[in-house]
Amino acid sequence: MAWWLGLLHDVGKAAECWQRLLVLLGVGGGRIGVDHKAAGTRLAVTRLGLGRLAMAVHGHHGGLESPASLHGFLTSPDRDLSAEQQAVSRLSAVIPELRDPKVPPWPDWARTDRLAQEMLLRMLFSALVDADFLDTQAHFRGASGVFVSPRLGMAELLRRFEHKRMKRFGARPSSDVGEMRAQVYRDCVAAAGLPPGFFRLAAPTGAGKTIAVGGFALHHAARFEMRRVVVAVPFLSVTDQNAQVYRDFLDSGGTGRVVLEHHTAVNVEGGRGSRWRRLAAENWDAEFIITTTVQLFESLHARTPSRMRKLHRLARSVIVLDEVQAIPVHVLEPVLLVLRQLVDHFGVTVVLSSATQPEFWHLPVVDGVKPRPIISDTARLYATLKRVRYRWWTRPKPTLAEVAAEAATHPKALVVVNTTAHARVIAGEWSGREDAQVRHLSTRMCSRHRLDTIDKIRELLSGDGRVLVVSTQLIEAGVDLDFPAVYRAMAPAESLLQAAGRCNREGCLGHAGGLVVVFDPVETGSPPTYAIPVHETRKHFGPAKGQAELDDLDEFAAYSASVYSSLSPIDRGQAVVDARAEWDCRRVADLFRMIDDNTVPVVVDYTPTDDQKLRKRADRVLSAIRRGLTPRPDELRHLQPFLATIPRGRAQRDSRAVPLIGDLHVWTGHYDSTYGIDLDSEET
């Protein structure tokens, strides 16, 4: 089928009118501007009987649309049927297959399943447009100018990985924690020999999941001759950390051409391997890829050639979903469906990695799927690596001021709250203290400001001084900070557990030596999505008789299943699945949004003290936009380190948020060196 789509997509270029314009414009260049997709689209429908698969030919430049759009295009009175017929006749004279086409049948798994057929369309379209891009490159640059990523092979990557692991950790673990991490790794290697499918890696914080799951992926890929490993993480802070770990293990020579890091914030320009990163990111032509779940799943539900050309590279790959509990519930149905289709029909293995494994396997979309556990004795692992004890501060409810005061009695403490306003209150309670270093983290700070602050916190924690940190939820996953005491505002159980992962992280305080205090503040405020899971958390966990501790694995499984059962199919993203069943690709792309919040990005005035060139590049992009120029995507990435968010409604009524391009604004108000955007200061 892919061969036929490749043959048909440019049939219209054989028409005399198109060839004439090609000759006329050949000297000076320029866009021909005459439709060439109609002939191949009509041929796909009428002579080959490809039906809706003709959408791939129709959309190979503008993107996938819908069956209704395809029908409207073919029946439009504006079509030049004589030019179409001429193009087909000319090509049929030199391509005998067009005279008597024999199209292969649908795969058995797609013959009656419309959703499976739609997924096949996406993969075929991806292969078509990627080949089209590469063929165009070859035409203008010559064969030597076409980018092909070097292939080391999974066996060689595995050899490098194991060599580095042995060199770093040695043959014998030096501690009980080291022995437990070694056992986790051995379990991963053993499970890697099982056939492709769904796997679960359930291991607590500090169990060495990053290295262990990398080992599983490489052993599994080498064993079953798979083509690549894709590690998808929910937060940008995690991509930086994971990418560095895997580069150390797989690219010790520093070529920059082994591990591809691809997400909206990555700078693809400059440094060793910069051309490779830029070109490989276009179609994921690499063997080990670090990306975000946003990039992965929004690409799988996209409609444009530039976003979709990478999808066919997922076939016969190992996909690792790190912190899988962070998949938003409003896209759960379409995410689980597309993962199941990749596993069932495209030779993919999916690994779900998390300390807090979600229990959604009873949902109809994954009916019959039985993921295989990687860890041989999960209960023993969690019991051995128990690092904290819990205290519940819920009756009577404390004020934020009381929480701040008690947290300050510890030499080092972290308070995690649910809103930026609450974070500001806690930080305000600590302001002016001379006996402690106070730091604040929230999305009112741009990403580079947050990273700089996290680096400073890490430095302070390594010293003897007092350290008090308040943060919103952003600190809960992928930020490897270690506090002896953590206070967490009431939240879904998985968030409470993730916050606990920042307490006694390295086990230096011994078994259950860290203190986690769950408090229910008098001051209200939390994300709307918290309502159902917080209700279920109160039912399952707490200090009362009949309630369990947060680290009770059986109770957490029951809690998780209750949360997903309490949500309707609409709440879980059924509308996206319905649009896919109708092959309405434009609607699918419009509906599927991993980040479903009501905020807008704003560029702020922040300059890193150690990297002023980074700010200068961003300022050049801002200047170009203000002059009316349209920046390339790679140029827009220079703004990413300086983006914070504010509520959409606030941006619409606050004159300090100046519209720039699309949803992007520039914040012209005060930017505080501690808090970031200061919404409370008066407008001028």
pTM comes to 0.88
159 and 274, same domain (yes or no): yes
Determine the structural domain holding residue 208 and report its residue range.
154-382
- Positions in the chain short of pLDDT 50: 265-272, 276, 684
**Phi, psi (deg, nearest 5) at residue 274:** -65, -40
**Residue 103 burial by Cβ neighbours in a 10 Å radius (0-12, 13-18, 19+):** middle
400 and 496, same domain (yes or no): yes
269 and 347, same domain (yes or no): yes
Residue 668 DSSP SS3: coil
Closest CA to 227 of 340, 324, 149: 149
Residue 95 sits at the vertex; the CA angle it makes with 146 and 62, to the nearest 5 degrees, is 50
Closest CA to 450 of 221, 608, 620: 608
Residue 125 lies in a domain: no
Q: Pick the last residue of a domain from 548, 583, 610.
A: 548
Residue 684 lies in a domain: no
* Spatial separation of the C-alpha atoms in residues 91 and 381, rounded to whole Å: 65
437 and 503, same domain (yes or no): yes
289 and 370, same domain (yes or no): yes
439 and 502, same domain (yes or no): yes
**DSSP assignment of 209-238, as one string?**
HHHHHHHHHHHHHHHTT--EEEEEESSHHH
- Domains identified in the chain, total number: 4
529 and 487, same domain (yes or no): yes
Residue 286 pLDDT? 86
439 and 524, same domain (yes or no): yes
323 and 292, same domain (yes or no): yes
- Each as own residue / partner, the long-range contacts of residues 73-77 (CB below 8 Å, 24 or more positions apart, any chain) are 73/38, 73/41, 74/38, 74/41, 74/42, 74/45
Residue 269 pLDDT? 39
End-to-end alpha-carbon separation of the chain, Å?
62
* Spatial separation of the C-alpha atoms in residues 638 and 43, rounded to whole Å: 44
Residue 622 pLDDT? 93
**Residue 49 burial by Cβ neighbours in a 10 Å radius (0-12, 13-18, 19+):** exposed
Residue 569 lies in a domain: no
Cβ count within 10 A of residue 409: 8
How far is it between the farthest Cα atoms of the chain? 87
Residue 658 lies in a domain: yes
Residue 222 belongs to domain with CATH number: 3.40.50.300
* Spatial separation of the C-alpha atoms in residues 196 and 455, rounded to whole Å: 39
Q: How many CA atoms lie within 13 A of 303 on its CB side?
A: 20
Residue 135 lies in a domain: no
